Amino acid sequence: MEKEIIIFRGITKRFPPDILANDRVSFAVEKGTIHVVLGENGAGKTTLMNILYGIHQPDEGSILLRGREVRITSPRVAIELGIGMVHQHFRLIPNHRVWENVILGFPRAPRFFPAARAREMVRNLSQEYGLDVDPDAYVWQLSAGEQQRVEILKTLLRKAEILILDEPTSVLTPSDAEKLFSVLQKMKEEGRTCLFITHKFSEVREVGDRITILRKGRVVETVAKGEADFESLATMMVGEKVSLFLEKPLVTPGEPLLQVEDLWVLDDRGFPRVQGVSLTLREGEIVGVAGVVGNGQRELAEALAGLRTPLRGRVFLKGNDLTGSSPRNVREAGLGYVPEDRRMSLIGDLTVEENLILRDYQEPLFRRGTFLDWKRVREYAENVITAYRIVPPLPRLPVRLLSGGNRQRVALAQALVSRPQVLVVANPTVGLDILATGFIHRLLLSLQEEGVGILLISGDLDEILTLSDRILVLYRGTIVGERERPKSGWTEEDRREIGMMMGGVTEEHLVVGK
């Protein structure tokens, strides 16, 4: 049997107007291995995987599968060839049950597929691979980790020999990530092959057998596990020496800035999503709110920012009651908000300079009488572009043409125009590469040094541990635990316990367990 199950030969893909996403990409993937694909945002990783899955067609080059050249014209063709893909954003129907989602699109399913047989198939596969999930549960009832298991079950049911995973741990707790790695190891032992896209270097060491590094659409190198340390991989990714170390100084927080008392907030369906949350944020303090996506983080942040009216409870900023205030009043009172979804704060068709003043265009700084002073706006935008290293440095460029990392820099700069005393920021580095992540982390630390209180809401436990002075764990809308940063720094035991609390284990149970 061929050792190399996939060979990419000179794959080139261009997108209009003049974006070269993949530039003569060539490398091989061995059968029965986990092959990691690393690269910055915009390096061409997802484009290459979408070509392998039939979503895009290459402009040049070819793919050899099991020793013969194939033309993968659609995802259906990819599935028939034994290729499955779990996208970063799951492709499930929330109002359908697990077994219905798994069977949907199954090529060998008759028009009227027996529900009992479908449940049995899902249950058997779940038990075989340790993918614990209830076949009769609705998808909307599942955690992010459980939804990912459903996606993997779909590929297994279709007999996929090759599994593509795009940023698979971005919404998982550490324990869910460990379960995923166990599943991948079992698939590997069965001779299946996995292509694993990630930004997290710890995962390279955890799961990767071989690593291909892409930079600006080109292959830099393919190395075996253990042949390169993290700093070498980072340098290959970005083309210059990169330090992965971020010094987090010990701080002495000042006076209370933000106080939340017994806050209850409804979600979009009218159910209580935030239930009795109370917290305090002080001057020059970073408080991390750890939790898996979907446990009330969005509703909490929107209630603080004035975008969602609380059911009950109080929000105070420097002693002033802001409960139920409008977003503009909240911002003028001194609270800035950066949502995870950049589409909530940025308008793609507007330029960089227009987006930067979108919330504060009425400020005297940007006006000449009743009209905008575009000269001042341009000067301000140019200064921000330089300070935040926004690329390309074009104030009149539409924001939609920027990479994810550069859009996030614009969103942060937009929130900081009014120099807020409190910054609420949600998942600020999700999906970003190492350079963009490092820049944003250093920016948040510099704001902390200036006395800004930062409420950091993130599902990335590494990010929470790196930046936070104090950590609150949110599970199903309730704070189930709190930890203060030790003088000697966080330990592996802290990490384990916080990860368990993110999965629903309360602090009381942890104490009993000891």
Q: In this structure, are 117 and 130 located in the same domain?
A: yes
Q: Is the pLDDT of residue 332 over 80?
A: yes
Domain assignment present for residue 404? The answer is: yes
Q: Is 387 exposed, middle or buried (0-12, 13-18, 19+ CB in 10 A)?
A: exposed
DSSP 295: S
Query: Which pLDDT band holds residue 238 (cuts at 50, 70, 90)?
Result: confident
Domain assignment present for residue 487? The answer is: yes
Domain assignment present for residue 20? The answer is: yes
Domain assignment present for residue 72? The answer is: yes
| pLDDT: which is higher, 42 or 481 | 481
Domain assignment present for residue 226? The answer is: yes
pLDDT per position as a tens digit, 258-309: 999 999 999 887 889 999 999 999 999 999 999 887 789 989 999 999 999 9
**Through-space distance between the first and last CA atoms of the chain, rounded to whole angstroms:** 51
Domain count along the chain: 3
Q: In this structure, are 93 and 37 located in the same domain?
A: yes
Mean pLDDT of 57-76: 94
Task: Using a pLDDT cut of 70, give the percent of the chain over it.
Answer: 93
Q: Is the pLDDT of residue 434 over 80?
A: no
Q: In this structure, are 176 and 34 located in the same domain?
A: yes
CA gap 269, 250 in Å, rounded: 42
| pLDDT: which is higher, 140 or 410 | 410
Least confident of 214-228, 236-250, 307-321: 236-250
CA gap 107, 157 in Å, rounded: 10
Q: In this structure, are 50 and 180 located in the same domain?
A: yes
Q: In this structure, are 288 and 251 located in the same domain?
A: yes
CATH number at residue 89: 3.40.50.300
Q: In this structure, are 20 and 120 located in the same domain?
A: yes
Mean pLDDT of 320-340: 93
Q: In this structure, are 272 and 177 located in the same domain?
A: no
pLDDT per position as a tens digit, 470-509: 999 999 999 999 999 998 888 889 988 998 898 887 766 6
| Numbers of helices and strands, H then E, in the chain | 17, 22
Q: In this structure, are 304 and 367 located in the same domain?
A: no
- The tokens describing 503, both together, are 């999965």
pLDDT per position as a tens digit, 355-379: 999 888 888 888 888 889 899 999 9
Give the residue from 374, 392, 417 where a domain finishes: 417
| pLDDT: which is higher, 41 or 81 | 81
- Of the candidates 172, 505, 477, the one whose C-alpha atom is nearest the C-alpha of residue 297 is 477
**Residue 228: domain span:** 4-238
Domain assignment present for residue 339? The answer is: no
Helix (H, G, I), strand (E, B), or coil: what is residue 30? strand
- Of the candidates 252, 245, 247, 291, the one whose C-alpha atom is nearest the C-alpha of residue 469 is 252
Domain assignment present for residue 276? The answer is: yes
CA gap 67, 80 in Å, rounded: 16
Q: Is the pLDDT of residue 1 over 50?
A: no
Task: Using a pLDDT cut of 90, give the percent of the chain over it.
Answer: 43
Give the residue from 356, 383, 417 where a domain finishes: 417
Least confident of 3-17, 248-262, 374-388, 495-509: 495-509
Contact 319, 347 (CB under 8 A): no
Q: What is the mean pLDDT of the chain?
A: 86
CA gap 285, 406 in Å, rounded: 26
Q: In this structure, are 152 and 74 located in the same domain?
A: yes
Q: In this structure, are 263 and 366 located in the same domain?
A: no
Q: In this structure, are 191 and 316 located in the same domain?
A: no
Backbone angles phi, psi at 331, to 5 degrees: -65, -40
CA gap 197, 211 in Å, rounded: 10
Give the residue from 211, 238, 265 where a domain finishes: 238
Mean pLDDT of 323-330: 93
pTM: 0.71
pLDDT recorded at residue 510: 63
Helix (H, G, I), strand (E, B), or coil: what is residue 170? coil
Q: In this structure, are 226 and 352 located in the same domain?
A: no
pLDDT recorded at residue 157: 81
Contact 412, 427 (CB under 8 A): no
Domain assignment present for residue 279? The answer is: yes
Mean pLDDT of 110-139: 79
Strand order in the sheet with 218-224: 83-86, 162-166, 193-197, 34-39, 210-215, 218-224
